[in-house]
Chains A and B, each alone.
Chain A
């Protein structure tokens, strides 16, 4: 008996060990991606870091200016505005998207809801649309003089709401538009997760007299915690680099009040030709994104260990 055990484990271990003698085949297989990785990830990351310490304009010679770009960045009110608008946008978008997509996923998997397979298409189509089209579409709905929304508001006796000329309202429209467009994606992840929760949990809870709300908060929500984490992480990263919806919905307006980080990087780097300065801004954004990812991973680990 004791002799057999090591034999059996030897057999199960040996195939992976034998596989490691293959080096040429995997090398050939990953070579394409290695080249792409070196060219479009390592190289730009390195020169981006280098340029962030220079006054490079994209052409000609440049000088190293030390931390000048970074200190200038932290004294630039436009940078602060872009950063705080981006954070505000993220803080509004992520919870709204989370609640909407979780609600819809729950309704869709409910066996009592009729016509779920057809309804699913309605939630999914917005996700297919490009951010540019999403922007155009919501601009059409929320036009101040011609939009459908203001038309209804006036019809029920209200006065037209300045959706475009009030900076906070115009940010809000983008938040709603983006949440509308991104529901399909988060919803898909939630549906997969909810379907994986064993039905016996719900049957047991129902026997104990737990109602739908209690079942949701005590079974569904804890069971899908890993997916919730992924949804929040992906949505946060997505929101921090949002640009296209703003570009087509209100062009960062009114004025420059809703310029976000990516737009700020785009304008300083490509409109004003300050590549070095834009690179510094990029690295600040990258550090924030990494911090977000690391904090969320730590929180997630703590929740899962509990």
Chain B
């Protein structure tokens, strides 16, 4: 037995380093291997980037040049008149302020409520907590779009019709947020809580003083996601808001599209303006979004 095993092992050992050396490759071999995937990557990236690029470049063209043939890629006389016109004409600044209010308040409250719930679900053990966890799961099955009419009646009867709180409040119930915090707090060792309890800390102060600061990365991730969801919301604000003074950006833009004759210059300008906040937020907090553990049933 041992005699037959021995030569095999000896044979196998030199074989591996040889392979590895080959796969490590010389510089030219690595380059050759990089050509196909890199080309594919950048062809795909171009397919995804060109529409946005074309859109943004078009928005910098003066209204008269938008349809002039032959089409030019780069605006010959770049101008921000479309932006100015959009900002001034369609109450855009008002829409912007409304949307910002909705996003900021909704995001703060969503993070707060989800953090509390996620912590309770992760660190306490009760029958009714388990039952509530199932309730939260159920909300992922029945999205708000499916309950448009009854949800509308409920929010109207609560007296929130045509107000920004009517947009904010129903949005705070997010299963994703609770799951994200629950998953995070499950990884926090129980000993930390036990030690604080032995030191005589009250339950809620353990939560506020130890757990909330610990969960800062999750807070930030959920905050970015929540900000994006609320910024991009369309159908619910459309139902809730009647008064043009309370419109959000998305409704404002959609009302430009719905017009009889689309003023593309204004529409392009307004659209690009509305993209800016999210792209800035994303570029600043990129690493959090990219590393987010969003496997826990992400939805809005």
Contact A130 B136 (CB under 8 A): no
Of the A-B pairs whose beta carbons lie under 8 Å apart in the complex, a sample of 26, sorted by A's number, is A19-B124, A24-B203, A30-B116, A32-B172, A33-B113, A33-B132, A37-B136, A40-B155, A51-B150, A110-B37, A113-B34, A119-B45, A122-B46, A123-B44, A129-B52, A130-B232, A131-B234, A132-B232, A192-B293, A192-B295, A230-B295, A230-B297, A244-B250, A265-B149, A275-B153, A279-B149
In terms of DSSP, what is the predominant structure of the interface of chain B?
helix
1/0 per residue A147-168: CB within 8 Å of B?
0100100000000000000000
Is B91 located at the chain interface by the 8 A CB criterion?
A: no
Contact A45 B126 (CB under 8 A): no
Give the nearest-CB partner of A286 in chain B: B146
Is B84 located at the chain interface by the 8 A CB criterion?
A: no
Is A64 located at the chain interface by the 8 A CB criterion?
A: no
Is A302 located at the chain interface by the 8 A CB criterion?
A: no
Nearest Cβ distance between residue A90 and chain B, in whole angstroms?
14
- A29, A121, A251, A269: the one within 8 Å of B149 (CB): A269
Contact A126 B48 (CB under 8 A): yes
Contact A36 B143 (CB under 8 A): no
User: Quick one: which of B248-282 are within 8 Å of A by CB?
Assistant: 250, 253-254, 257-258, 264, 267-268, 271, 274-275, 278-279, 282
Chain B contacts of A79 at CB under 8 A?
Answer: none
Is A139 located at the chain interface by the 8 A CB criterion?
A: yes
Contact A243 B113 (CB under 8 A): no
Q: With A and B bound together, what is the CA distance between A22 and B124 in angstroms?
A: 7
Q: Which 7 pairs across A and B sit closest by C-beta, in order of nearness? A: A48-B150, A25-B203, A130-B232, A44-B150, A29-B120, A113-B37, A26-B124
Is B190 located at the chain interface by the 8 A CB criterion?
A: yes
Q: With A and B bound together, what is the CA distance between A188 and B295 in angstroms?
A: 9
Chain A contacts of B54 at CB under 8 A?
Answer: 140-141, 148
Nearest Cβ distance between residue A63 and chain B, in whole angstroms?
17
Interface range, B side:
35 or more
Q: With A and B bound together, what is the CA distance between A148 and B283 in angstroms?
A: 28
Known pairs A33-B132, A140-B264. 9 more at Cβ < 8 A? Answer: A40-B155, A43-B154, A107-B44, A113-B41, A130-B232, A140-B55, A189-B295, A269-B152, A270-B239
- A24, A37, A128, A141: the one within 8 Å of B279 (CB): A128
Q: With A and B bound together, what is the CA distance between A249 and B131 in angstroms?
A: 42
1/0 per residue B103-140: CB within 8 Å of A?
00000000011101101110111100100100110110
Contact B48 A123 (CB under 8 A): yes
Contact A130 B234 (CB under 8 A): yes
Identify which of B138, B169, B286, B295 gathers the most chain A CB atoms within 10 Å of its CB.
B295
Interface range, A side:
35 or more
Contact B148 A262 (CB under 8 A): yes
Contact B150 A45 (CB under 8 A): yes
User: Given A128-B228, A141-B54, A289-B141 in contact, is the A266-B125 Cβ separation under 8 Å?
Assistant: no
Q: With A and B bound together, what is the CA distance between A275 and B113 in angstroms?
A: 31
Is A41 located at the chain interface by the 8 A CB criterion?
A: yes
Identify which of B37, B150, B271 gathers the most chain A CB atoms within 10 Å of its CB.
B150
Is A66 located at the chain interface by the 8 A CB criterion?
A: no
